[in-house]
Amino acid sequence: MNQIKKLLIIGFVWPEPNSSAAGGRMMQLISIFKQNGFEITFASPALDSDFMVDLSEFGVEKKSIELNNSSFDDFVIELNPDVVLFDRFMIEEQFGWRVAENCPKAIRLLDTEDLHCLRTARQKAFKENRTFTLNDLLSEEVAKREIASILRCDLSFIISEFEMKVLKEVFKIDSDLLYYLPFLVYEMSDLDLLKLPLFEERKNFVFIGNFLHEPNWNTVQHLKESIWPLIKKQFSEAVLEVYGAYPSQKVLQLHQPKNGFFIMGRAADANEVVKNARIVLAPIRFGAGLKGKLLEAMQCGTPSITTTIGSEAMYANLPWNGFISDDIETFAKKAVELYHDENLWKQAQKNGVAIVNECYQLSKYSTALITKINSLLNDSESHRLQNFMGSLLQHHTLKSTKYMAKWIEAKNKN
């Protein structure tokens, strides 16, 4: 009889699948591991939130942990997990060394969510009003921390093929340490499309995104200041509804009903909102990873207009489910055209279904993922021998985060 394998997930926050794509991604991973017989414990130093998922409903044990506290060592020794998944590199920095010391045989996985250094470098270039180049990454402070984290782990999940390329070509990371794992969803059929609201049953433009994420806030500013006036000039009755979790006062101040620009706040059901909209607008100017809002639009049969950055690595060169443009005049023109042309709209909708089925199939990736993890469990020693840079970064002389944590812990006791 096979022994049940234990997975410990250490989360940056508790999963909120209705608030962000990151929360949805985490629940996808939990589902895959659960279906493959893993016993899962989800631990996090974050405070509980009103919108966090009830992990017990998914058969997952919840555990609150503290930063810079050796109580985690006792917890992880007692749990003795076979696999540990770090949710973002900041969590690996805090807890990775403790896992390596107390459970040296445990496989250490990192879910990057997206490459933070890529997003940060693009944001910096944008704010300095210059063109981003890949060389910007080499001087990015976050990159040094993030790449070190990737090297220390046995395997890192990378959500975008573009980011896979960056890691291999710019940072020279060994392919054996990287695993391409996009968003994972179920296949769509023509029958699924028929269940969705029809063209004439839908109305308005929509944008949706968590406002704690800087690219989302910037996108809403860009919509309000540059793109929406151009759309209104061509289509005076146009209405844009902006949804998102955690809107701050600066977001709420953009609410302007007279101009058809509505800040709606958190969506009770994001799926329902997108499903009943006619077009998703996402003029994203910087960021990284894959855009959950655009995949969700495809699943809801809702065409979208986005930018090169917004669509990056999302569609395998298939026709987009709408239009891609970095020029604001073209963006606005295509938005109005797509809103009114039913035939164009229906073709865009079909394009989205084709992208979902080609690029994000759960069945295509989930079995291969578990096979890969099982192979690591069976031969971790050999795998780690090939990762000299990783073992170097585990060496005590390079563990500044470990000694900083110990110093903070001692200081807190005093």
Give the range of the structural domain holding residue 100, as residue numbers without chain letter: 5-184+362-413
The proportion of the chain whose per-residue pLDDT surpasses 90, expressed as a percent, equals 90
pLDDT band per the 50, 70, 90 thresholds, residue 393: confident
Residues 42 and 102 in one domain: yes
pLDDT at site 405: 84
pLDDT band per the 50, 70, 90 thresholds, residue 2: low
What does the block give as tokens for 117?
């250094």
pLDDT at site 1: 40
pLDDT at site 403: 76
Q: What is the CATH number of the domain that holds 393?
A: 3.40.50.2000
Rounded mean pLDDT, 148-169: 97
pLDDT in tens, 276-316: 999 999 999 999 999 999 999 999 999 999 999 999 999 99
pLDDT at site 378: 95
The pLDDT of residue 348 is above 90: yes
The pLDDT of residue 396 is above 70: no
pLDDT at site 23: 93
Is residue 290 within 8 A of residue 159, CB to CB? The reply is yes
Residues 351 and 371 in one domain: no
Cβ atoms within 10 Å of 302's Cβ, excluding its own: 27
pLDDT at site 19: 87
Rounded mean pLDDT, 345-362: 97
pLDDT band per the 50, 70, 90 thresholds, residue 394: confident
Residues 29 and 162 in one domain: yes
Of 26-35, 324-333, 390-399, minimum mean pLDDT range? 390-399
Residues 297 and 383 in one domain: no
Residues 342 and 380 in one domain: no
From edge to edge, which strands make up the β-sheet containing 107-111?
A: 61-64, 39-44, 6-10, 83-87, 107-111, 155-158, 178-180
Residues 347 and 249 in one domain: yes
Residues 143 and 204 in one domain: no
The pLDDT of residue 149 is above 80: yes
pLDDT at site 40: 98
Residues 166 and 217 in one domain: no
Residues 229 and 356 in one domain: yes
The proportion of the chain whose per-residue pLDDT surpasses 70, expressed as a percent, equals 99
Residues 167 and 255 in one domain: no
The pLDDT of residue 399 is above 70: no
The pLDDT of residue 9 is above 90: yes
Structural domains counted in the chain: 2
Residues 170 and 291 in one domain: no
Residues 16 and 124 in one domain: yes
pLDDT in tens, 70-128: 999 999 999 999 999 999 999 999 999 999 999 999 999 999 999 999 999 999 999 99
pLDDT band per the 50, 70, 90 thresholds, residue 410: confident
pLDDT at site 395: 73
